[in-house]
Amino acid sequence: MPTYKAPLRDIRFVMNELLDFPGHYNSLPNGEDAVEVTDAILEEGAKFAENVLTPLNQTGDQQGCTLNDGVVTIPEGFKEAYQQYVEGGWPSISQNTEYGGQGLPHSLGMVLNEMICSANLSWGMYPGLSHGAMSALEHHGTEELKQTYLTKLIEGTWTGTMCLTEPHCGTDLGLIKTRAVPDDNNGYKVTGTKIFISAGDHEISENIVHLVLAKLPDAPEGSKGISLFVVPKFLPDASGEAGERNGVVCGSLEHKMGIHGNSTCVMNFDDATGYLVGQPNKGLAAMFTMMNAARIGVGIQGQGLIEVSYQNALAYARDRLQMRALSGTKAPEKAADPIIVHPDVRRMLLTQKAFSEGGRALILYTAQLVDKVEKGAEDSKQDADDILGLLTPIVKAFLTEVGFESTNEGVQVFGGHGFIQEWGMEQFVRDSRITLLYEGTTGIQALDLLGRKILMNQGEHLRKFTKQIHKYCQAASQQESMHEFISPLSELNKEWGDLTMKIGMAAMKNREEVGAASVDYLMYSGYVTLAYLWAQMAEIAQKKLAEGTSEQAFYQAKLDTARFYFQRLLPRTKTHAATMLSGADTLLAMDEAAFGLAFEV
Amino acid sequence: MPTYKAPLRDIRFVMNELLDFPGHYNSLPNGEDAVEVTDAILEEGAKFAENVLTPLNQTGDQQGCTLNDGVVTIPEGFKEAYQQYVEGGWPSISQNTEYGGQGLPHSLGMVLNEMICSANLSWGMYPGLSHGAMSALEHHGTEELKQTYLTKLIEGTWTGTMCLTEPHCGTDLGLIKTRAVPDDNNGYKVTGTKIFISAGDHEISENIVHLVLAKLPDAPEGSKGISLFVVPKFLPDASGEAGERNGVVCGSLEHKMGIHGNSTCVMNFDDATGYLVGQPNKGLAAMFTMMNAARIGVGIQGQGLIEVSYQNALAYARDRLQMRALSGTKAPEKAADPIIVHPDVRRMLLTQKAFSEGGRALILYTAQLVDKVEKGAEDSKQDADDILGLLTPIVKAFLTEVGFESTNEGVQVFGGHGFIQEWGMEQFVRDSRITLLYEGTTGIQALDLLGRKILMNQGEHLRKFTKQIHKYCQAASQQESMHEFISPLSELNKEWGDLTMKIGMAAMKNREEVGAASVDYLMYSGYVTLAYLWAQMAEIAQKKLAEGTSEQAFYQAKLDTARFYFQRLLPRTKTHAATMLSGADTLLAMDEAAFGLAFEV
């Protein structure tokens, strides 16, 4: 069975040494509380992830979820773990104190989230979906809705879902058919079928608060006619507790490639009582409040799975004896050398390590932006929001793409044993596969990045970010020892702008150029962004090594990993740059009918 | 449920137009028989794959295999399908006529194999493993062994396995512990445990012929002390039929990520009667006879899975309506445009198409080499064998790597639905995952290519191949219209040699440079090899289009796919070239103990 140890040393490196979280927190209102509790949250979160969630991950995968007589049963131990989570006060950490929250910055919840995703992704989705519901209610709900629902979600006694997708539409939500008709009590009757509803039904919590997209009777066509509703599983009674059953049931459970421990439901709404969240027909805006947080959350899933896969691949590579090193025997006392001596095994391990640690830095950098947008000084909010908007699709798509690659490297380190369920490595692959799909596929993130977040503002937000990188390069290039990092970084940073300009120009002639370039563009952007963070980490490590430190091996490993990233992973930008410029014609030339002529008679 | 249609038009394009199989067969002894039956084999093979095997693929995945009271039960319908296969005479196609075979070239069996792998990989492994056993017996068995076992395998009433791996060794077979002690009847008593034995036990056939690696009592240490034995499940009785049960039993079944329909067994040998195949202590050579064929077979699995994933992704992309094209509505009569209008969806489909069709060309090119080595004119045998040796690890590792990528693109085209088992797309991913592992991982193939097949002969075999490509480029560059293909191909062909030289030089100083560069080197080699084949296919298409043809759309699609390959996939060589030259230091610098310092306390 796989094991997991929370990487506290590295989390502290990123929080304290790379990103100065203490300083960051102290710049926020009541930030000193956050500084004070950070350590306790890290330590307690680590224990919970290691001791409670990790042991339930493989059994959860094997048992899966079942639906009998309308009751969804989830894997053994999941409910008890959730109770511990609620008793520990975890759901309320970053929530509004007016509704029972602890008012700590969101970034602290995101640090915890990495550990949960590493330990047990399927379990993590039960509380995880509540976050989207909470943020939609917090930002768009009436005071009454907040008092009724948000307080319960923050308490953790109730959980939330996001009900968007329907059988015929996922990306294209303008097509939804679910209808909401006003009733006589300031509410609505919601009718329709939603699919792929994560944590859609279960008995982990006393009630489930569904956030549902639906159309009003007089709604305009398409995505401008979508409204958001809150539809509880049980209608609150007079005392505000879960009362009468509402008209929403789980119709069936999906059989999936992975995340077996999470109940992915078809939810049938049949004249279910619901309440409008936000303005009529403005549901898409309210939904994006949930969605942006959820997208960063999925990026964390990608990174968390790399970390746990890496830890187990490393243990195996140290233990498994197979062949001698090409340069001569390394462990003469053993029947063969441990496979970690072989360069190609190290290539796979270092790929995982570089993406996990680099991904962590990216997530926590993004987490600070989330804090700043939420609670930061007014004059820095806009910049933070612009860069957060830019980084959100990168966090989501880049970290899940390299996450899937990395969990596969974890299998590959195990050789044939990686394919065997008992070892647990293939579960990480199956679980991570969903992260490239839900909350918007990689392709959708790429369009969001290039189309909406960059070209729609003529690259202004991107220039804010590349200027920041440029300034960093100028400062760091003063040090001779940093040239190996700064020279490629500043070159790529410049190229990033040039590529954007070229694609923007091409797109003015043909809008399809955006879609043709987008995924390569997103991946390119991810590699450069991670290089920016790895360069800074290398700089810190060099400084520590020069000063002298009792943790010389830790900082040397950080520097070695930075070198690996720059020499072995960053050259992938070469291919992405070439292919993104190859244009839309190669993609659009072929007649649709001709795609199948090799096999259609 | 996924569907499958054998791509006969494209198979005929490759066989008749690209590789002149009729001419090739006519150059072999009795080759006119092959020419005569080719069409019938294609047509009948297609029917068998489409109508018999395809419907059993998803049910086979769901039912899996079970072990009860020592009896292995495989999915419903698999045995009946096998009986049809035997009745159709399929097992004997390429086998020696002296032992009941039809004596047709091996390439014909390989064409059939693609269709079987597309239709039902798990099923295909039951007859598939027999091929290795047949070729080991054919090349290394005594006349008595051939009469007893080979005839039955060719008939198909018995099937075969390859028993190599043990719990503590896969790659490093020198470590095996299974022992063979001479008995009093010219035989041996074999004792030990083998794992990961595909089709290791079942009741599909009357008997199972295990080819087993074991050590003799006086065997030298390591891989020079391995011998090969044939160990039947049932000992043949006086009439040569399956008689008394031998001392070999299935101890347990592995639970795997994919290929659920195939019984992957732990096989326990306990004083089982066996017979030596080949010379004592020369088992590794005999094993490589099986292994080389098996490796090409796994490459075919990779390609076959791309094809079936592509066909289903294409159907979905034509059917699924989602969003409008960025350049404006394409299907105004529908609620949204079919997703095949979106450039990024086309990018994924074309990636699958280019790898499937390019992979098919590579496999059939390799298949001709197999024929030539086996039955060709004496003066061309050595060249064929040298190039076959070079291409075998490329076929195995490159086609399975891009195969795994491509089956994942198939999932991605389906969005969230790709993750749902019912659609069948995720099964192709799970099934294809094993192909990167068994019969030698990608890393092992890469070492075989760069270390053994190239550097051990100072690049002589590679030069034979690059010279051939060079000559082709010189001839084709006479045509203006071919420049878009020939110019990048000849540049890369030259660079291939340069890179080899550089790595060879570096390896003379440090042997670890081979392992450090190998996987990038293999992938690079694969892309250039496929470019060589795609250039030729483009040339044929251009000629047909210039001449005029009733199949204009087919040839135009071929040309468009070639362009896509050159502009969108071939630039991956840029990254591989850069990373393979980055050297071993980045990989070896880190102290083994330091790998875990981010999470180990």
Query: Distances from the Cα of A359 to the Cαs of A366, A400, A533, A534, in angstroms?
Result: 10, 10, 9, 10
Distance between alpha carbon A159 and the CA centroid of its chain, in Å? Answer: 19
Of A255, A426, A599, the CB nearest to B10: A599
From chain A, the residues in CB contact with B597 under 8 A are 9, 551, 553-554, 557
- Smallest CA-to-CA distance from A246 within A255, A233, A258, A228 is with A233
From chain B, the residues in CB contact with A415 under 8 A are 170-171, 437, 441
List the catalytic residue out of B439, B484, B495, B551.
B439
Mean pLDDT, range B466-476, rounded to an integer: 98
pLDDT band at A138 (very low <50, low <70, confident <90, very high): very high
Instruction: State whether A591 and B557 contact (CB < 8 Å).
Output: yes
Q: How many CB pairs under 8 A join A and B?
A: 317
pLDDT reported for residue A290: 83
Beta bridge partners, B214, equal: B227
Minimal C-alpha gap between B78 and chain A (Å): 23
User: Distance (Å, rounded) from C-alpha B53 to C-alpha A153?
Assistant: 51
Q: Are B129 and B162 a contacting pair, CB within 8 Å?
A: yes
pLDDT band at B285 (very low <50, low <70, confident <90, very high): confident
Which of A18, A346, A411, A417 should we substitute to test contact with B (largest number of B Cβ atoms within 10 Å)?
A346
* Residue A194, phi-psi category: left (phi > 0), alpha (psi -120 to 50), beta (remainder): beta
pLDDT band at A285 (very low <50, low <70, confident <90, very high): confident
Q: Looking at chain B, which residue has its C-alpha nearest residue A335?
A: B175
Mean pLDDT, range A152-156, rounded to an integer: 98
From chain B, the residues in CB contact with A567 under 8 A are 579, 582-583, 586
Which of A435, A512, A587 should we substitute to test contact with B (largest number of B Cβ atoms within 10 Å)?
A587
Helix, strand, coil percentages for chain A (3-state, nearest 5): 65, 15, 25
Minimal C-alpha gap between B221 and chain A (Å): 11
Q: Looking at chain A, which residue has its C-alpha nearest residue B559?
A: A590
pLDDT reported for residue A287: 86
Nearest-Å Rg of the Cα atoms of chain A is 24
Instruction: State whether B515 and A594 contact (CB < 8 Å).
Output: no
pLDDT band at B336 (very low <50, low <70, confident <90, very high): very high
Mind listing the pLDDT tens digit for each residue in A240-254? 999 999 999 999 999
- Asked if A549 is an interface residue toward chain B (Cβ–Cβ < 8 A), one would say no
The first and second tokens of residue B167, run together, are 């719990």
The first and second tokens of residue A150, run together, are 């948000």
Instruction: State whether B590 and A519 contact (CB < 8 Å).
Output: no
Residues of A labelled as active-site residues: 439
Give me the amino acid identity at A409.
E
A404 half-sphere exposure, CB direction, 13 A CA radius:
23
Q: Looking at chain A, which residue has its C-alpha nearest residue B427?
A: A257
Q: Looking at chain B, which residue has its C-alpha nearest residue A420?
A: B256
- Smallest CA-to-CA distance from B34 within B23, B50, B18 is with B23
pLDDT reported for residue A288: 85
Of B446, B567, B583, the CB nearest to A582: B567
Polymer length of chain A: 601
pLDDT reported for residue A289: 80
- pTM for the structure as a whole: 0.98
Query: Distances from the Cα of A300 to the Cαs of A107, A154, A313, B425, in angstroms?
Result: 12, 21, 20, 26
Mind listing the pLDDT tens digit for each residue in B535-578? 999 999 999 999 999 999 999 999 999 999 999 999 999 999 99
Q: CB neighbours of A496 closer than 8 A, spacing ≥ 6?
A: A462, A466, A524, A525, A528
Of A307, A325, A419, the CB nearest to B257: A419
Instruction: State whether A568 and B589 contact (CB < 8 Å).
Output: no
ipTM of the assembly?
Answer: 0.98
From chain A, the residues in CB contact with B335 under 8 A are 175
- Render the burial of A78-105: b for 16+ CB within 10 Å, e for the rest: bbebbeebbebebbbbbbbeebbbbbbb
Q: Looking at chain B, which residue has its C-alpha nearest residue A563?
A: B586
Mind listing the pLDDT tens digit for each residue in B226-257? 999 999 999 999 999 999 999 999 999 999 99
Please identify among residues 560-599 of chain B the ones whose CB lies closer than 8 Å to any CB of chain A: 560-561, 563-564, 567-568, 571-572, 574-575, 578-579, 582-584, 586-599
Polymer length of chain B: 601
Mind listing the pLDDT tens digit for each residue in A410-451? 999 999 999 999 999 999 999 999 999 999 999 999 999 999
pLDDT reported for residue A311: 98
Minimal C-alpha gap between B252 and chain A (Å): 13
Using the Cα atoms of residue A560, residue A564, residue A565 and residue A567 in order, give the sign of their dihedral. positive
Given a cut of 80, is residue B601 above it in pLDDT?
no
pLDDT reported for residue B17: 98
Given a cut of 80, is residue B175 above it in pLDDT?
yes
pLDDT band at A341 (very low <50, low <70, confident <90, very high): very high
pLDDT reported for residue A286: 86
Q: Are A90 and A75 a contacting pair, CB within 8 Å?
A: no
Of B420, B582, B601, the CB nearest to A254: B420
Percent of residues, chain A, with pLDDT higher than 90: 98
Give me the amino acid identity at A382.
Q
Instruction: State whether A350 and B437 contact (CB < 8 Å).
Output: no
Given a cut of 90, is residue A21 above it in pLDDT?
yes
Work out the widest C-alpha separation in chain B, in whole angstroms. Answer: 83
Q: How many CB atoms lie within 10 A of CB A484?
A: 15
Q: Looking at chain B, which residue has its C-alpha nearest residue A322?
A: B172
Mean pLDDT score across all residues of chain B:
97
B579 half-sphere exposure, CB direction, 13 A CA radius:
29
User: Distance (Å, rounded) from C-alpha A264 to C-alpha A252?
Assistant: 9
Minimal C-alpha gap between B113 and chain A (Å): 16
Which residue spans within A54-110 are E strands per DSSP? 66-68, 71-73
Q: Looking at chain B, which residue has its C-alpha nearest residue A521?
A: B344
Given a cut of 80, is residue A601 above it in pLDDT?
no
pLDDT reported for residue A74: 98
> Cα torsion for A356, A362, A365, A367, to the nearest 10°?
-80
pLDDT band at B288 (very low <50, low <70, confident <90, very high): confident
Q: Are B149 and B137 a contacting pair, CB within 8 Å?
A: yes
Residue whose token pair is 């070079």: B390
Residue whose token pair is 């068998």: B48
User: Distance (Å, rounded) from C-alpha A52 to C-alpha B276?
Assistant: 54
The first and second tokens of residue A516, run together, are 């043709």
From chain B, the residues in CB contact with A335 under 8 A are 175
Given a cut of 80, is residue A292 above it in pLDDT?
yes
Of B590, B593, B600, the CB nearest to A560: B590
Instruction: State whether A343 and B442 contact (CB < 8 Å).
Output: no
Instruction: State whether B257 and A196 contact (CB < 8 Å).
Output: no
Instruction: State whether A9 and B601 contact (CB < 8 Å).
Output: yes
pLDDT reported for residue A90: 97
- Show me where the domains of chain B are located: 458-587
Of A438, A583, A594, the CB nearest to B557: A594
- Asked if A121 is an interface residue toward chain B (Cβ–Cβ < 8 A), one would say no
Mind listing the pLDDT tens digit for each residue in B201-226? 999 999 999 999 999 999 999 999 99
Instruction: State whether A318 and B350 contact (CB < 8 Å).
Output: no
Query: Distances from the Cα of B371 to the Cαs of B106, B303, B364, in angstroms?
Result: 6, 20, 10
Mean pLDDT score across all residues of chain A:
97
Which residue spans within B396-530 are E strands per DSSP? none
- Smallest CA-to-CA distance from A21 within A89, A104, A115 is with A104
